[in-house]
Structure 1
């Protein structure tokens, strides 16, 4: 089970509402295989991967 804290991601995006929209768009891209993940998948769901990618940047 992945544990993702969104505090770092919120600081990078600006506010939690924009974070949710950004993560949802990215998760949709990953789910539809439109783009490759930028971080290791580790059996995580697309939403978790999207949040980890945002934290990483």
Structure 2
């Protein structure tokens, strides 16, 4: 993948708001020592995480609504 775009990521995430929160959380994990899930060279943490999201390796977990139970 030459470039990662927001549109690439939005195929796997519901909306931009969720994308920002998911990417921020994953970047924190990577900076604390978590291994990257996709191989990329000469990229920063943010670009690598966006590549993970675009590849479908990182997904947002939905919280269940307690009223629906």
**TM-score scaled by structure 2?**
0.71
Structure 2 portions without partners, runs of 5+: 57-69
For 2:31 and 2:44, how far apart are their aligned partners in 1?
9
Deviation at 1:37, TM superposition (A): 0.3
Runs of 4+ in structure 1 deviating by more than 2 angstroms, as ranges, are: none
Structure 1 portions without partners, runs of 5+: none
Name the count of aligned residue pairs: 55
Q: Highest Rg: 1 or 2?
A: 2
For 2:9 and 2:40, how far apart are their aligned partners in 1?
18
- Greater per-residue helix proportion: 1
Deviation at 1:4, TM superposition (A): 2.2
Q: What aligned pairs does 1:37-52 form with structure 2 within 5 A after superposition?
A: 37-52=36-51
Q: Which residue of 1 aligns with 2:13?
A: 13
Indicate the SS of the match to 1:41. Answer: coil
